[in-house]
Amino acid sequence: MVRDSFPGTETDATGVTKQNTSRMPDYIYLLENRLSPAQQNALRHVRDAARDAGMTVFLAGGAVRDLTSGFPVRDLDFSVQGNALKLKKALEKAGGEFWGDHEPTHTVYFWFPGSVRVEVSSSRREEYPKPGKPVYHWAPILEDLRRRDFTANAMALSLNEGSWGLLLDPLNGVADIEARHVRLASNYGFIEDPSRMVRAIRLSARTGWQMDERTQARYQNAKAEGLMEQISAFARGYELEEIAHEEDPLKALRALEAEGWMKVLYAAWTAAKADIKGLEELNKILIRLLMVGVGSDPSAAHIELLTAKMQPKDVAGLKRLFPRRGFVEQWNRLEQSAKEFSKVLLGKAAAKPSAAWKLLVSHQAEPVLWLAYSSKNAAVKEKFNSFFNVWPEARQKIPTTLMAEMRITPDLPNYGEIAELLFFEFMDGKLQTEEEIRKFLQPYSPPAPPPPVVIRRPRGRRAEPKIEEEEEVEPPARDSDEDGEEEEEDERAPSPLGEDVPLPPKKGGAPAPVKVSAKAPAKAMKGAKVAPAPAAPIKAAPVKAAKEAPKTAVAQKAVPKAPEKPKAPGKVPAKAPVKPEPKAATKAKTPVKKPAVKVAAKPSKPAPKPVKAAAKKQAAAPARKSVKPAKAAPKKAAKPGKPAKKAPAKKKR
């Protein structure tokens, strides 16, 4: 898919044109922000009238050019695909004032409240059998744009549903606007319609743009051939009226006079016949009115000062040439409407400053402008001096800090109305103290928001720490003096000689530790080291585990057994039987319950199985066979405040 010659559309390989909305948001923004509220209101009325009549409507010509280039939008030009004359009644019902029409081109002229000039014409193409003698054919919008004078004016914005804000630019006028060029839309533009030479000079004088090289050459050729003599009466009057609608009409008049076009258009009207000082003063007042929010169309005041030194008959002849009869009537009523407004301004209804302010900003702006310029009445001058210099200072007194304290912020939908009421109160000299201001603002203060609700959730029980089970690691070999007091009883097989013989290790398991008979000599018992008392509770088994031990184990150990010769070098040698001390045996079997002491357990070294105190002596035996102790099962962490529970002893077979 390739982009077409104008932004806003794309053409595929089959030649089908499709919408491209990449530029739409830009022009939608311009329509919503560059147009004044009054212009937006007029645009809405024209769009609705065309839609009700079943016509597609586009904003075209100079309005789109000014939106794109950044110049102020002076008037609104619309093109509809249909007969624009049929929209006359609908636009009058919408509040527009009918200013005139042009039947051959199906064009109507309106004036909407807020000083908005509107021109609605039917889209068409033109043929010129002779210079200045067009023949009109009704056509779609793209053909209408291609028949226009310059590329900068051959653009349109769609105002229809589904394509709102879509730019139509078949001749790439945006590029010429960026280059600040005035380029002909047709190579024969000056020959077909000589009035385009006048428009080229006016546009260059207003914008500062220059004609491109080819357009300049065609302009000089048409001027040399004297084609301006072929201009039609309607085009002559239209171009003369457009001088009054310029922002700087004197500059445009001088530029046309320098090119010699005023002799052709209207020889009696020259720059020498204008009130130059009056135009400068009028422009200053116009700017001051704009600063206080009054937007006026100065066209009628312009034409009054531009023809100030002309003969009355010449002025009357000029008025007859203007195509918009409504503009001529506005020019004729200018002085009378200013006098009527002066009476209202000096009346009792406008005695208060706030009342006079409301009257000045709500009345039709053109009489206000002319009265401010032309009045010699001292009271009127004093009113305007206060309007421009004194009354606006009341806005500086609006207590924004106090309003924020009372929760009156710009977020409120009626904040602008409240600020305006305060402005009028200060303007009239009221609300001198803070108490008065608070009392005035109290009805507009919204209620305080409720305090935030804090939901406090009950804290849940802390979960017990989970200790991941580690892989069983064989503890390193320990000396007999590092073992604890208490030991687990190993499973033994009864010997025919009365001794406890260790069972053979299970398949795949570690061999059971060697157990020594209780008949060990007393000397060995005395030499055995006893673990210190504080460490005993940590390794001691709970009382319950001691009670569950079989009672027969004590009885069997208490019976003396005959000594036996060692069968292997790792066996303990038999010695004379010595009766073990009962106290020592009892101490070894029944642990004493002591208060638990918290000791940080080393996770890398699991606690080894305790060995009986009687077997500690065997660690010193040289012929002892090294036996790996059984792997200790991982123990869970004990709860704080309770002694660690020992796994129950294995039952004897």
The pLDDT tens digits of the residues spanning 331-351 come to: 999 999 999 999 999 999 999
The pLDDT tens digits of the residues spanning 124-162 come to: 999 999 998 999 999 999 999 999 999 999 999 999 999
Identity of the amino acid at 356: A
Distance of CA 248 to the CA centre of its chain: 41
When pLDDT is cut at 50, 70 and 90, the band that residue 554 belongs to is: very low
**Residue 476 CB contacts under 8 Å (≥ 6 apart), including other chains:** 605
pLDDT average, residue stretch 58-68:
95
Q: Could you write out the three-class secondary structure of 333-402? A: HHHHHHHHHHHHHCCHHHCCHHHHHHHHHHCCHHHHHHHHHHCCCHHHHHHHHHHHHHHHHHHHHCCHHH
What pLDDT does 466 receive? 62
> Rounded to whole angstroms, how far apart are CA atoms 178 and 155?
14
What pLDDT does 451 receive? 85
What pLDDT does 26 receive? 85
> Rounded to whole angstroms, how far apart are CA atoms 301 and 641?
102
What pLDDT does 101 receive? 95
CA angle 184, 188, 190 (to 5 degrees): 70
> Rounded to whole angstroms, how far apart are CA atoms 223 and 218?
9
3-class secondary structure, 286: helix
> Rounded to whole angstroms, how far apart are CA atoms 479 and 529?
11
The pLDDT tens digits of the residues spanning 215-227 come to: 999 999 999 999 9
> Rounded to whole angstroms, how far apart are CA atoms 174 and 153?
10
> Rounded to whole angstroms, how far apart are CA atoms 161 and 55?
12
The pLDDT tens digits of the residues spanning 269-298 come to: 999 999 999 999 999 999 999 999 898 999
- The answer to whether 74 and 247 are in contact (CB under 8 A) is yes
pLDDT average, residue stretch 604-631:
43
- The answer to whether 249 and 243 are in contact (CB under 8 A) is yes
When pLDDT is cut at 50, 70 and 90, the band that residue 452 belongs to is: confident
When pLDDT is cut at 50, 70 and 90, the band that residue 472 belongs to is: low
When pLDDT is cut at 50, 70 and 90, the band that residue 644 belongs to is: very low
The pLDDT tens digits of the residues spanning 461-470 come to: 666 666 655 5
Instruction: Indicate the DSSP class of residue 184.
Output: B
- The answer to whether 239 and 195 are in contact (CB under 8 A) is yes
What pLDDT does 450 receive? 86
To the nearest whole number, what is the mean pLDDT of the chain? 77
What does the CA dihedral 173, 205, 114, 290 come to, rounded to 10 degrees? 120
3-class secondary structure, 133: strand
The distance between the two most distant Cα atoms of the chain, rounded to a whole number of Å, is 161
What pLDDT does 580 receive? 47
Closest CA to 613 of 500, 513, 516: 516
pLDDT at 166 over 90: yes
pLDDT average, residue stretch 376-383:
94
pLDDT cut 70: percent of the chain above it: 66
- The answer to whether 147 and 132 are in contact (CB under 8 A) is no
Helices vs strands, H then E, count in the chain: 27, 16
Q: Whole-model pTM above 0.75? A: no
The pLDDT tens digits of the residues spanning 182-199 come to: 999 999 999 999 999 999
pLDDT at 61 over 70: yes
Identity of the amino acid at 266: Y
What are residue 182's DSSP bridge partners?
A: 211
> Rounded to whole angstroms, how far apart are CA atoms 164 and 160?
5
- The answer to whether 123 and 56 are in contact (CB under 8 A) is no
Residue the block writes with tokens 């040289």: 622
The pLDDT tens digits of the residues spanning 220-259 come to: 999 999 999 999 999 999 999 999 999 999 999 999 999 9
The pLDDT tens digits of the residues spanning 87-99 come to: 999 999 999 999 9
- The answer to whether 607 and 486 are in contact (CB under 8 A) is no
What pLDDT does 453 receive? 82
Least confident of 37-41, 351-355, 495-499: 495-499
Question: Helix, strand, coil shares of the chain as percentages rounded to 5?
Answer: 45, 10, 45
Is the domain spanning 1-172 CATH 3.30.460.10? The answer is yes
> Rounded to whole angstroms, how far apart are CA atoms 221 and 184?
14
> Rounded to whole angstroms, how far apart are CA atoms 437 and 501?
107
pLDDT average, residue stretch 261-265:
95
- How long a stretch of residues is the chain? 653
Who wins on pLDDT, 578 or 80?
Answer: 80
What pLDDT does 359 receive? 95
Structure tokens at 573: 């040698």
Q: What are phi and psi of 77, to 5 degrees?
A: -110, 130
Identity of the amino acid at 623: A
> Rounded to whole angstroms, how far apart are CA atoms 30 and 151?
20
Question: What's the sign of the alpha-carbon dihedral 199, 200, 202, 206?
Answer: positive
pLDDT cut 90: percent of the chain above it: 62
pLDDT average, residue stretch 52-60:
96
Least confident of 360-374, 404-418, 628-642: 628-642
Every domain of the chain and the residues it spans: 1-172, 398-444
pLDDT at 307 over 50: yes
- The answer to whether 295 and 112 are in contact (CB under 8 A) is no
Distance of CA 490 to the CA centre of its chain: 78
pLDDT at 361 over 60: yes
Instruction: Indicate the DSSP class of residue 150.
Output: B
> Rounded to whole angstroms, how far apart are CA atoms 198 and 230?
13
Structure tokens at 288: 């001051």
Which range, 277-286, 528-537, 641-650, has the best average confidence (pLDDT)? 277-286
| Exposure on the CB side of residue 574, measured as CA atoms within 13 A | 14
